Amino acid sequence: MSQSNDQSTRLQFLQTTTLATLLSTAILAPSPASAAKYGSFGAGSPEVLDPKSAVIDDEILQTPPVQSAIASLKVYLDAVKAMQGELRANAQADIGPTLRKGFDFVKLRADLNTANTAFDEDTQRGTDRIGRLILQDITELEVANKQKPGIERSEKRLTIMTRKLEKLSKAFSDYLAFF
């Protein structure tokens, strides 16, 4: 009888071990990254809302600080469009001075935060995400713009800069669409 108990115990052990291995593999198995998409509002990201569903406090929206921040955001968008025009006219244009002068991170972040005060928390989660993308794209654009003296910008780098400017233009436009 002890041999039968030993065999049944081994069988139970193997079944339990196999089941545990399968479960842990299913739970811990790597899966493809599921980073949120940004491009079409709400597509792939619960944090970016459609501007039509934004909840805005009209009293806060009408305050001078919020109106000033919105006006500044429009100026930033115009600066992005101007840089796009510069690069179209001259692929070797140095847009670094425009970036440094026109996109002071402290002021830009303050403008984004001030404009955000007009929204409810759910809307702010989406607009905060767009704001972070704006700041990241400006940083990446500044890096892509750097050139060694006397060396022309390559087509690849020009393409990177053009795409970053397109993303910035879209991000500012998308942000402003909430107002």
Write the pLDDT tens digit of every residue in 11-69.
887 778 777 776 666 566 555 544 444 444 444 444 557 888 888 899 999 999 999 99
Nearest-angstrom CA–CA distance, 10 and 26:
24
pLDDT score of 50: 81
Q: What is the mean pLDDT of the chain?
A: 83
Residue with the larger pLDDT of the pair 43 and 148? 148
pLDDT score of 166: 95
pLDDT score of 131: 92
Note the CATH number of domain 51-176.
1.20.120.290
pLDDT score of 26: 58
pLDDT score of 177: 92
Where along the chain do its domains lie?
Answer: 1-29, 51-176
The mean per-residue pLDDT over the stretch 116-135 comes to 91
% of the chain exceeding 90 in pLDDT? 46
pLDDT score of 122: 86
Nearest-angstrom CA–CA distance, 172 and 78:
10
Nearest-angstrom CA–CA distance, 161 and 145:
7
Nearest-angstrom CA–CA distance, 103 and 97:
10
Q: Which residues of 153-174 are buried (b: 16+ CB within 10 A; e: fewer)?
A: beeeebebbbebbebbbbbbeb
The mean per-residue pLDDT over the stretch 59-85 comes to 95
Rg of the chain in Å (alpha carbons): 26
